Amino acid sequence: MRLPFSINSRRGRVAIGIAAVLFVIVLWAAVSIGSDRPTTYESITDHFKYGSIGSEPGVSLLRPVGGVLPPLSVFTALPSICPEKLPGGYASLGFVFEPNHALPIGVSRRRRLGIDQVGLNCAVCHTGTVRDSPEAGPRIVLGMPAHQLDLQRFVEFVLECSLDNRLTAEAVRGRLAQDNVSISLFERTLLRFGLVDRLKLVTLNLRNRVAPILGNEVPRWGRGRVDTFNPYKAIQFNWPIDRLPHEELIGASDFPSLWNQKPREGLHLHWDGDNDSVDERNLSAALGAGVTAVTVDHDSIKRVRDWIWTLPPPKYPYAIDATLTARGASLYGQFCVACHGDHRFRDGVRASEATRVGLVEDIDRIRTDRHRLDSYTDLFAANQYALYPESQYRFTHFRKTRGYANHPLDGIWARAPYLHNGSVPTLLDLMNAPAERPKVFYRGYDVYDQTRVGFVSNVPEEKGRTFFQYDTSVPGNGNSGHEYGTTLAAADKAAIVEYLKTF
C-alpha cells in the first residue's frame, strides 16, 4: 500500500509532528489521570495537622470519588466568590490557621486524578485553641476537641457556594494568583473544559442526599459538635434519609479528645460505647471525614494512630491549689473513681478502683439526653459490617448499646463543654443538679474560665465572630442526668474540680 505522502515531504513531516504531539498529549493526560500523590510531611505533628488520610475526593469528568470538598482551586476561591455567605472566611467557622500556611489545620492536599485536591483529616475535629484572656494569643492544642469548629455550617457553605452562579471557571482562574495558589497544568486545562460544570452536578446530587440533616430541618449542631452517623446513612449507605423517623436524625454530639489511646484499647469507645477497637474507631472516623474503601490511605492513618497511641494529654496550664487538690482526691475516690478512674490514666495506668471505666451505663441509670443513642440503630450497625468487604479492614466490633460509656477523664480540663452532647459548659456546672445548670449559653469561645473550669460561655460574639447559642430545651441538647456528687456542699464540689485539673 502506498502512503498518500512521502515522509520526506513537507506534508509528511507535518503529519508525523501532529501525531507525535497528540501522542505526548495523550501520554501526559494518562500520567496525570493516573497520579495519586499526597503532600507529605516528615514531622509527625505536621503530618497530623496537614497530611492526607485519603479523603480528597478526586472529582473526575466521569464520577465523584470520596469526600465532599471541591478541588483546591475552587476551595480557596469560594470565600471570595461568595463573601456575604461567609464573612471572615474559613477562620470564622473555627478553622485554626497557622502563620505561613495557606490551608487551615485539618485540611490536606493531594494530587489525585491529575487534580490538586483538598480533604479533611483527623486534626480538623481534634485541634483546638485556648486563650488566657481576650487580649492573649491562642495556644494550639493538638488532640483536643475542636470546640470552635462549626462543621455543619462549613458543609452548608461549600455546597451553597459551589452551586452559586458566581462560581465559574473564569472566576476560579482569576483568583488563583490572588490567592497565591498553584495548581497542575492538567487542572488548568480541565477548568477550561467543563470541570466546574461537572463539580456543580456532583454537588447538587450530594446536597439533595444530605439536605434533611442540613439547614433547619433538624436542630443545629453548633460549634464543637457533629452528627457522627447520619451523614454516613446518606453518603456511605445512600439511604433516603428523608424517609427515616425525624427523631433518628437528631444525633449531634461533641468532638472527643484524641490523646492517650493505648489504655483505651478494649474499652467501649464512642459516646455510646458501640465499639471497643481503637483501629476500627479510627477507620470509622476516617470514613466520616470523606475516605472510601477506594481512596483510604491506610499507611497515613496508621502513622497518626501510632502517634496518638501514647500522645499525652496537655497539662493544666494554670495554678493548682495543692491543699484543695488533696481534699478533692479523697472525695473523688468516694464518688467518681469507680466509673472514670483517676489521674493515673493519663500515664496509661488504669486505677484498680475503677470497676466500671470503659463500660456502658444504661440510659435508664445515667439519664442523659438519649437522642445520640437512638440515632445509632441496629440496622445501621449491621450495615457497617458491609464496609470494606473482603478486606482485612472489614469491621467486626460495632454493636448497638443501651446507654453511654464511662470514659477516662485524662485532660478533662481541655474537653469542655461536658456530657456527650456538650450541654454543660463547665465542670463546676456539671457538679450541680440539672435544674441548676445553665439553660442557655454560648459555645465556641476559646477564653478559659479558670474558676469554673471550662470555656467562658456568656460571650455571644467577638470581633465579628459569632458564637453558637446553645439552648438546652432543644431536642438533642438536654442537660439532664449524670447526677453524681450534685448534693455535696459547694466547697466539696470545688475540691473535686480542683483535683480534676491534675488529670
Three-state DSSP class for residue 414:
helix
Contact between residue 127 and residue 142 where contact means Cβ atoms under 8 Å apart: yes
Percentage of residues of the chain with pLDDT beyond 90: 70
Q: Residue 21 pLDDT more than 80?
A: no
Residue 131 DSSP code: B
Rounded Cα gap, residues 238 and 250, in angstroms: 18
Q: Residue 63 pLDDT more than 50?
A: no
**pLDDT digit string (tens) for 172-220?**
988 888 888 888 888 888 888 888 998 998 899 889 989 999 888 899 9
Question: Residue 61: its pLDDT value, please?
Answer: 39
Question: Residue 386: its pLDDT value, please?
Answer: 85
Three-state DSSP class for residue 36:
strand
Rounded Cα gap, residues 331 and 96, in angstroms: 38
**pLDDT digit string (tens) for 431-460?**
999 999 999 999 999 999 999 999 999 999
Question: Residue 11: its pLDDT value, please?
Answer: 67
Rounded Cα gap, residues 35 and 110, in angstroms: 10
Query: pLDDT category, 69, cuts 50, 70, 90?
Result: confident
**pLDDT digit string (tens) for 31-60?**
555 567 899 999 999 999 999 999 987 544
Give the closest residue to 412 by CA, choosing from 307, 270, 262, 256.
256
> pTM for this one?
0.90
Domain boundaries, the chain: 1-33, 34-500
Helix (H) or strand (E) holding 253: strand 252-254
Rounded Cα gap, residues 313 and 239, in angstroms: 38
62: Cβ–Cβ under 8 A, 6 or more apart, which residues?
A: none
State mean pLDDT over 255-274: 95
Average pLDDT, the chain: 90
State mean pLDDT over 389-395: 85
Q: 414-438: string of b/e by CB count within 10 Å (b at 16+)?
A: bbbbbbbbbbbbbbbbbbbebeebb
Query: pLDDT category, 62, cuts 50, 70, 90?
Result: very low
Question: Residue 215: its pLDDT value, please?
Answer: 82
Cis (ω within 30 of 0) for the bond into 99? no
State mean pLDDT over 363-385: 95
Q: Residue 79 pLDDT more than 70?
A: yes
Q: Residue 25 pLDDT more than 60?
A: no
**pLDDT digit string (tens) for 313-328?**
999 999 999 999 999 9
Query: Which residue reads 461567609 in cell numbers?
Result: 86
Three-state DSSP class for residue 195:
helix
Q: Residue 364 pLDDT more than 90?
A: yes
Query: Which residue reads 459490617 in cell numbers?
Result: 385
